Structures are given as structure tokens and as C-alpha cells.
Amino acid sequence: MRTMGLQILFLALVGTTGFAQQWEIGAIGGASFLNSVPVSSPLGSATAGFASGAVGGAFFGQALYPRLAGELHYEFFQSNQKLSSGGSSAEFSGIAHAIHYDLVWHTDSKNRRAQFFVRAGAGVRIYQGTGTPAAYLPLYEYGYFTQTRVIKPMGVAGAGISYRLAPRLYLRTEVMDFVGPFPTNLIAPNSGAKFGSILQELVPLVGLTYLF
């Protein structure tokens, strides 16, 4: 009985050790682009969305199979609200947080320094206006900015390349594509204006990953 208990303990320790070697942690940084929707109004046309800004974040991952991993991500966006029409524009300070879980498929890299990977996942994005409201802003006839905090679902897709710098350290570059409903409670349409419903944002990123 005692021998069987020792065997079970030994197998558990071996399994735990093997499991622990499948984890990774990383940090990423970059910028966001192409994040606006069309606005139609009896007064003309415009675009509503967010100005390009810096992005930073971190992730925690686990190898599920030889070529498939799961990653839990967090990103912080400098995400100023923006309205544009013709040569005029108006901005309102804002931030956003993204939390998502992705499945990541990568090429076999046992004997290679570089590997290609693709990702797909889902999560939520939290928008918040942080600017100071003003009595009048340009393009007010199309919409107005608020300090509301809004939570929206989103989907994530992307692709990139990971390059081994050391046995446990990797450099990776990638582009993520965030897609979700436009937060009309944050940038609210004015009377008669209609906003597009889907917001798409391209985010190129560079990061470091450590395996343990």
C-alpha cells in the first residue's frame, strides 16, 4: 500500500513538472489603427471612432497540444474618441481595456528559430471617456462625446512570427484584428444621425515571451 502511494506521488510530481514547463508569460506593445465607422446625417456625412494611439499589454499562455496553445490577454489602449468630416475633426480623451482568450496555432519549431502562428479568440472591451465635457465641440451636429463606461463583446483574430532569442526567450511580432459592436453610448449619435454598427481595429504589436 505504501509502495503504491509512493508511485502515485511520483507520477503526480512528474506530471506537475511536465505541466509547469508548458506555461509562458509575455509583454507586448504597439499601436491601433483603422478604428472608425461611417456616419450619415441629413446635414452630410462623417466618421466616428477613435484616434490612433498607443497599446500595451501582457499575456499568460499554456501549451495545450504540440502546435496549439491557449493565451489569456490584457491590453490597455490610449483610445481618444474622434469625429471627422471633411477637413474638420474633434477629439475627446479616452481609454480602453481589452480582455480576451485566444487559441493559437503555430508551426512546428523544434529545430527552427522562427515559427509562424495564427490566433482566434473572443472577449470583452471596456471603453471609457476621460475628457472634460465642453458646451460646444466641432461636428456636434453628428454626435457628442460622453464620459460613460461601456462594456462590449469582441472577437479577435491575428497572425505573426515568433523568433527564438535564447532557449526560453522569444521575440514576436504580430497583427491583431479586433472586431465588435460600436459603443454608441460612448460616442452618441445626434438627432437624425446614424452610425455604422461594427468597429474594426488593426493593432500591430511587438513583444517578448518567456517560457517556464
Q: What is the mean pLDDT of residues 36-49?
A: 95
Single-letter amino acid, residue 125: R
pLDDT at 11: 41
Highest mean pLDDT among 13-17, 105-109, 174-178: 174-178
pLDDT, one tens digit per residue, over 153-194 is 999 999 999 999 999 999 999 999 999 999 999 999 998 999
Averaged pLDDT score across all residues of the chain: 89
DSSP summary character for residue 8: H
Task: Determine the number of helices (DSSP H) and then strands (DSSP E) in the chain.
Answer: 1, 15
pLDDT digits (tens, 9 = 90+) for 63-81: 999 899 999 999 999 999 9
Nearest to 57 by CA among 168, 208, 212: 208
Please state whether beta strands 88-92 and 81-85 pair in parallel, antiparallel, or not at all (unpaired): antiparallel
Among 114, 12, 103, 11, residue whose Cα is nearest residue 64: 103
Q: For 139, what's the count of Cα atoms within 13 Å in the CB-facing half-sphere?
A: 28
Q: How far apart are CA 38 and CA 197, in angstroms?
A: 9
Can you tell me which residue has the cell 505504501?
A: 2
Name which of 98, 102, 116, 108 is nearest 172 in CA terms: 116
Please state the pTM of the whole predicted model: 0.86
C-alpha cell at position 155 = 472577437
Q: What backbone phi and psi angles, to 5 degrees, belong to 20? A: -65, -30
Q: Is the dihedral of CA 125, 70, 172, 34 positive or negative?
A: negative
Q: How many CB atoms lie within 10 A of CB 52?
A: 16
C-alpha–C-alpha distance, residues 30 and 173, integer Å: 10
Contact status, residue 99 vs residue 74, Cβ threshold 8 Å: yes
Q: Is the pLDDT of residue 16 over 80?
A: no
CATH number belonging to domain 23-211: 2.40.160.20
